[in-house]
Amino acid sequence: MLQSNSLSTVSDNHLPGAQTFPLMPKVLIARATLSELVGELQYTSKMPGPSWSIDAIHCITGQKLRAEVPTSPCAKCYAMKGNFCRGKVKDANRKRLHAWATVPNWAEAMASLIETSITFGDPFFRWFSSGDLQSVQMLRDIVQVCTLTPMIHHWLPTQERGFVTEFLALGGEFPVNLTLRVSASEIGGVTDPFLLSSVVSSRKLKRIWQQRIQRESTFRYFCPSSQQDGVCGTCRACWDQRIKTIVYLEH
Ligand code: SF4
């Protein structure tokens, strides 16, 4: 798709005296126009590439956990505080969700936007730096974006195990470049044995988790960002499907 965004010329060598003519790309839409259509992507100081988010107030399972389960990571959600809840961030989140619901060919436009926004040589994209899946249809649409961008690694963390289960039960398949991780609903909680997952560790249990991971290192990985100024640096474990569970330290 990137190639299709660049102008090039071809000449038909089979015709004597044929002239060189411009080959118009299938999609010639500037990044700014795509952003205008589906909303701008986000760049966070922590992550290696751009991300997409919606307002955490729309988290279906997350808001229930927040209200009813004080031991859930959602009860202390970072995206329900401060700048996430006001001004430009809130407006941008609203625009992205509205675009998903209303823009025809949203998946194609998103795929083109991601391709034109990704860091060259570091093709990693995160879904839901805040917010979560709204429906099985949203998961299908995101899967389509991933399929349209096979050279980009996508990571999608979610609490919406019901949508994931339904998607798979209806015959849906994840493309190889999508790493979908179901998040444990409680801090230190259990994760689904059949899906890739993530779990939050309390600060108190950090050492126990780290010792446990040392013993079972093939399948679990402790996020190192707390030891490297809160950034991923060269780590890309969240996108690595060989790692069954990522353990994050609570905020
Ligand atoms: S595990 Fe690695 S890639 Fe994932 S958030 Fe932590 S530092 Fe970043």
Averaged pLDDT of the chain: 85
pLDDT at 250 over 60: yes
Q: Tell me the whole-structure pTM to 2 decimals.
A: 0.84
What is the pLDDT, as a whole number, of residue 52?
98
Model confidence pLDDT, tens digit, residues 164-209: 999 999 999 999 999 999 999 999 888 888 899 999 988 877 777 7
What is the pLDDT, as a whole number, of residue 21?
35
Q: Is the CB of 224 under 6 A from ligand 1?
A: yes
Buried b (16+ CB within 10 A) or exposed e, 149-162: beebbbbbbbbbbe
Distance 25 CA to ligand 1 centre (A): 37
What is the pLDDT, as a whole number, of residue 215?
67
Q: How confident is the model at residue 29 (pLDDT cuts 50, 70, 90)?
A: low
CB 122 within 8 A of CB 48: yes
pLDDT at 127 over 70: yes
Domain boundaries, the chain: 3-249
- Residue in the block written with tokens 């493309």: 175
What one-letter code names the amino acid at 13? N
CB 7 within 8 A of CB 72: no
- Measured CA distances, 6 to 9, 24, 30, 111, 147 (Å): 10, 9, 11, 16, 21
**Token output for 133:** 């899946």
pLDDT at 98 over 70: yes
Calpha distance 89→43 (Å, rounded): 12
Highest mean pLDDT among 53-62, 78-87, 219-228: 53-62
* 139: Cα within 13 Å, side-chain hemisphere: 27
Distance 2 CA to ligand 1 centre (A): 27
What is the pLDDT, as a whole number, of residue 220?
81
Calpha distance 114→124 (Å, rounded): 10
Distance 85 CA to ligand 1 centre (A): 24
Model confidence pLDDT, tens digit, residues 49-58: 999 999 999 9
Q: Is the CB of 225 under 6 A from ligand 1?
A: yes
